[in-house]
Amino acid sequence: MKIYFGGVRGTSAVAQADFLKFGGETTAVLVEGRAGERVVLDAGTGLRALGSRLIAGTARPEALLLMTHYHLDHLMGLPAFDLLYNKAWTVEIAAPRREALEPAEVVRRILSKPFWPMQLDKLHAKLKFTTLPATDAVRHYRSLELRWCAVHHPEGCHAYRVDEPASGASLVFATDMEWRASTEAERRDFLNLCLLPKPARLLVMDGQFSRATYTRFKGWGHSTWEDCLEVAQKAGVREVLITHHAPQNNDAQLTEIEKAARRAWSGAALARSGMELDLHG
Ligand SMILES: [Zn+2]
Ligand SMILES: [Zn+2]
């Protein structure tokens, strides 16, 4: 199972030269299964880079887009997603219902006048919308297994787990989660997502803040990089990639955070735009 990071920035995209080592595009990640499955996690501005990669690299023009939630930094890339304007492609957009909205209604709104010139009925791709059950579910997507649970965040958010039983690879993707404000039940559900059916190989987790800055941003819906290490070790994962980097943190600041995280636990690193991983069991 291959994982490609199109965007790792939180809150808003940044484009200054001293932000480009870690990358300025907001959240979008592509998971490529061995059997040709293409699962995209979130539709931030990093989605544009994923669109080019998808069109260039696959014989089967189908992709599944799983949305964690609809804050704009996770949705801004959708209107300009290449695949939506390509009639050869079938794109399924799936998420649990959020704020009483089905995924189809969210996409209709984001593409509606006066926000975007091409409305839903003018797109060329075959679009399919799926409302996932809120929790306690597993979905098979060809040879991949998908699981998810709700996590603590304003307006809610879901974390997803992708397993590839054929290779033993497993990923938990948990952007936008405030670990320190989570209830016991939310913590238990999330740790279970990481632990079952076996401890995940890789956790990608929101670590926008640090313990030193968190008190100013309590209730904003994000974790600290130190929380990422704590969760990773509790969940028994082998590696954690910290993501959703604050738009104020330039490359020098993120490099210092990464050094501190690696000193605390050698299995930690910061996610970067353009990073590609070949994940095994
Ligand atoms: Zn976000
Ligand atoms: Zn959010």
pLDDT tens readout for residues 14-31 = 999 999 999 999 999 999
Give yes or no for a contact between 57 and 82, defined as CB atoms under 8 angstroms apart: no
Residue 67 has a pLDDT of 98
Distance CA 179, CA 223 (A): 5
**Cβ atoms of 253 and 216 closer than 8 Å:** no
pLDDT of residue 52: 87
How far, in Å, is the centroid of ligand 2 from the Cα of 60? 32
Please give the pLDDT value at position 60: 87
Q: Ligand 1 mean position to 263 CA, how many Å?
A: 27
Q: State yes or no: pLDDT of 149 exceeds 90.
A: yes
Domains, the chain, ordered by start: 2-278 (3.60.15.10)
Q: What is the DSSP string of 34-79?
A: TTS-EEEE--STTHHHHHHHHHHH-SS-EEEEE-S---GGGTTTGG
Nearest ligand by distance to the CA of 42:
1
For residue 59, pLDDT beyond 80: no
Q: How far apart are CA 272 and CA 276, in angstroms?
A: 9
Strand order across the beta sheet in which 90-96 lies: 126-132, 90-96, 62-66, 38-41, 28-32, 2-7, 276-278
Q: pTM of the full predicted structure?
A: 0.97
Residue 137's pLDDT is 78
**Mean pLDDT (the chain, rounded):** 96
In 3D space, the residue among 280, 172, 205 whose CA is nearest the CA of residue 8 turns out to be 205
- Summarize pLDDT for 163-205 with one digit per residue, the tens: 999 999 999 999 999 999 999 999 999 999 999 999 999 999 9
For 72, residues 6+ apart whose C-beta sits below 8 A from its C-beta are none
Could you tell me the pLDDT band of residue 69, with boundaries at 50, 70 and 90? very high
Please state the φ and ψ torsions of residue 6, each to the nearest 5 degrees.
-80, -35
Single out the residue of 260, 191, 262, 270 nearest to residue 232, CA to CA: 191
Ligand 1: distance of its center to the CA of 168 in Å?
Answer: 29
Would the pLDDT of 58 be above 80? Answer: no
Query: 90-144, pLDDT tens digit by residue?
Result: 999 999 999 899 999 999 999 999 999 999 999 999 999 999 998 767 999 999 9
Angle of helix 184-195 relative to helix 225-235, nearest 10 degrees, comes to 60
CB contact at 8 A, 251 and 21: yes
82-91 pLDDT, tens digit per residue, is 999 999 999 9
> Cα(230) to centroid of ligand 1, in Å?
21
Q: How far is CA 95 from the centre of its chain?
A: 12
How far apart are the CA of 45 and the centre of ligand 1, in A?
Answer: 12
235-244 tens-digit pLDDT: 999 999 999 9
